[in-house]
Amino acid sequence: MDDIRVKICGLKRPEEVAAAAGAGVRYIGLVFFPRSPRAVSLGQARSLALEAPVGLAKVALVVDAEDALLDQIVETVPLDMLQLHGRESVERVVELRARYGLPVMKAVGVASEEDLPALQEYARVADQLLVDAKAPKGSVLPGGNGLSFDWRLLAGRRWPCPWMLAGGLTPDNVGQAIALTGARQVDVSSGVESAPGVKDLDKIAAFASAAAAAGTVDAVPRL
């Protein structure tokens, strides 16, 4: 089977970028959402992106961002992808792909089977999907809450574009999540932290290792 691609989201320190690169991670996420403990300034993000080695994709996570902010981000930070983690419409995804010429990943929150049709809608226009656990009502953060959902909802499902699994993943459960969903890409934030917004370098390595080990298993269980 192909290698599992790992994304570590919410990096804030150069040593976190180095740890991700050293562990074979394929994407790093830079958060531009002020209410998140993982938020970075434009200057911080630029420095981190410039330190990332070739081959490590830099993803800007935004939440219902207006064009003025996005213009600043794209002009200041060398990026490879935009991640839309708010209530952006299908039309907004199309608009931003055209405006910036960057691939767009759209996050979709899932809690039950009723949430699955939205994935199909966004898959028609996005370059990638991020299938995340739906944030609880009243939550300040749309993601990064350390919550998971019933992974069996995704068993056997595929979409017209690549997709990534997120939501409550840790070094201890990522193997099971991959086995149940068939995901070939996984995203983690709080699951590799020692405190909100502080990545644990050993956990980054452990997560990447566990994901890689899961990718060597040829059979996905039938449910």
Catalytic residue among 9, 67, 200, 218: 9
Residue 219 lies in a domain: no
Q: Would residue 132 show up in a list of annotated catalytic residues for this protein?
A: yes
**Reduced to 3 states, what is the DSSP secondary structure of residue 129?**
strand
Buried b (16+ CB within 10 A) or exposed e, 35-61: ebebbbeeebbbebbeebeeebbbbbb
Average pLDDT for consecutive 10-residue bins of the chain (223 residues)? 88 98 98 96 98 96 97 98 97 98 97 94 98 72 65 90 96 96 96 96 98 74 37
Long-range contacts of 86-90 (CB under 8 A, 24+ apart): 86/62, 86/142, 88/64, 90/121, 90/122, 90/124, 90/125
- What CA–CA distance (Å, rounded) separates 115 from 170? 23
Left, alpha or beta for 16 (phi > 0: left; psi -120 to 50: alpha)? alpha
Model confidence, pTM: 0.91
Q: Please tell me the predicted confidence (pLDDT) of residue 135.
A: 72
Does residue 221 form part of some domain? Answer: no
Does 118 fall in a domain?
Answer: yes
Active-site annotation holder among 2, 80, 115, 132? 132
In a domain, 220, yes or no: no
CATH number for the domain that contains residue 95: 3.20.20.70
Q: What length does the chain have?
A: 223
Count: domains in the chain: 1
Containing structural domain, residue 189: 5-214
- Rounded alpha-carbon distances, angstroms, from residue 140 to 38, 63, 67, 105, 136: 13, 12, 22, 21, 9
Domain assignment present for 129: yes
- Residue 172: active-site member: no
